[in-house]
């Protein structure tokens, strides 16, 4: 099954929620321990859409195999040209080019929107994410040491940046 990338609709939010909660529970990618619920994801989605920020899904014959989005990196008008991306792929769909396809579409959307920089904040260790972003041209830009906690561990956050 091949996946095609398309904008998410509200009907995709339960699948997006399930992927999000999987990564909250099982990986170091999202630094929180309490699961999200549909109301929270709906507010997130509507906020992105209202701001004109893309929320994309990889649709594999009706199954949401992953999603990607970008939001504001920081507030303040001086940061208006910089966005921070997120990309998550469902269990069982890894290593099939899903993230690469999502990110290609997300980067194209950011360029189209006139953005100049995309930042990935990668919680370490995450060799898959570092390799993914590196293969897309993101460059390592610095690491904040021990600023997060998850599963009882102190975690580093590495920033990677892509000049658009
Ligand atoms: C990181 C992640 C999004 C990659 O998704 P994916 O669909 O499996 O990635 P792709 O198949 O598109 O791989 C693209 C490239 O990324 C790199 N890559 C992906 N997974 C990798 C792994 N496990 N180890 C090393 N490199 C990896 C490779 O360079 C790969 O290209 P190749 O397959 O031609 O060698 C996925 O592992 C994931 O959801 N991880 C948990 C969430 C997360 O960390 N998100 C990023 C937060 S910053």
pLDDT tens-digit readout, 100-156: 999 999 999 999 999 999 999 999 999 999 999 999 999 999 999 999 999 899 999
User: Atom 20 (ligand 1): residue with closest C-alpha?
Assistant: 128
User: Atom 36 (ligand 1): residue with closest C-alpha?
Assistant: 89
Alpha-carbon gap, residue 9 to 27, rounded angstroms: 26
Q: Identify the band that residue 1 occupies on the pLDDT scale cut at 50, 70 and 90.
A: low
Q: Identify the band that residue 29 occupies on the pLDDT scale cut at 50, 70 and 90.
A: confident
Query: 100: Cβ below 6 Å to ligand 1?
Result: yes
User: Atom 33 (ligand 1): residue with closest C-alpha?
Assistant: 95
Can you give the pTM of this predicted structure? 0.96
CB atoms under 10 Å from CB of 73, counted, come to 20
| Residue closest to 31 by CA, chosen among 106, 119, 121 | 121
pLDDT tens-digit readout, 87-97: 999 999 999 99
């Amino acid at each position: 099954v091949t996946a095609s990338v398309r904008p998410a609709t509200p009907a995709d939010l339960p699948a997006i929620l399930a992927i999000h909660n999987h990564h909250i529970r099982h990986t170091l990618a999202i630094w929180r321990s309490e699961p999200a619920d549909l109301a929270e994801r709906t507010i997130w989605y509507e906020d992105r859409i209202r701001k004109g920020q893309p929320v994309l899904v990889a649709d594999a014959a009706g199954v949401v195999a992953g999603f990607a989005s970008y939001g504001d990196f920081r507030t303040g008008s001086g940061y208006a040209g910089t966005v921070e991306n997120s990309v998550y792929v469902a269990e069982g769909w890894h290593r099939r080019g899903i993230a690469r396809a999502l990110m290609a579409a997300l980067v194209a959307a950011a360029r189209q929107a006139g953005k100049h920089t995309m930042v990935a904040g990668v919680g370490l260790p995450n060799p898959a994410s570092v390799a993914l972003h590196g293969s897309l041209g993101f460059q390592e830009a610095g690491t904040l040491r021990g600023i997060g906690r998850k599963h009882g561990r102190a975690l580093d956050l590495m920033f990677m940046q892509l000049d658009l």
